[in-house]
Amino acid sequence: MTTILQTPRILVREFLPDEEELLVDLYRDEQVTLHLSNRTEEETREKFKGTIENYKNGTGLGRWGVFNPEDGDFIGVCILMQNETDHIQIETGYVFRAKYWGRGLATELVKSLIYYGFNDKGLKEICACTNPENLASQNVLLKAGLKRDGNVFWHKQELPFFRILAQNVIIY
């Protein structure tokens, strides 16, 4: 298992093969998936298998678990990877269990993923999109430094599009 990044409140790491149910249970919660594209349980399981397989490519980009570093509790999932629709774009995103909403963790996570992407992986741009009704996630992206840049047709729908360029970020 590889740790991608850690802050005092979040640990981002590769999923272990026996943690599939964490992702499946996350996507069973209707409150959590309210603003997400519909995905069947089988599609989630296939996504998890692909995630585990993707770790072997060694790019340092992918889909990872987000955990509480103090007690190991599962917070959610995040990505920093090629967009499935536009393979040139590197997309970031996250899905958290509802009990972790409203604590500033999502902003902390996105800022950390941006730092990791630019500083450790040498990315030049990171993008994100949200459901048009998901104002909370749009605010997270703005607080993390991304700027709104129109709409994009990703994930089978037109969505608000955000981006941040490495040249516009001071990395310490």
Other CB atoms within 10 A of residue 12 CB: 24
CB 31 within 8 A of CB 136: no
Give, rounded to a whole angstrom, the gap between the first and last alpha carbons of the chain.
27
In the chain, the domains with their CATH numbers are 3-168 (3.40.630.30)
pLDDT along the chain (172 residues), means of 10: 94 97 91 75 93 93 97 97 86 95 96 96 95 94 96 86 85 53
pLDDT (0 to 100) of residue 171? 56
pLDDT (0 to 100) of residue 29? 83
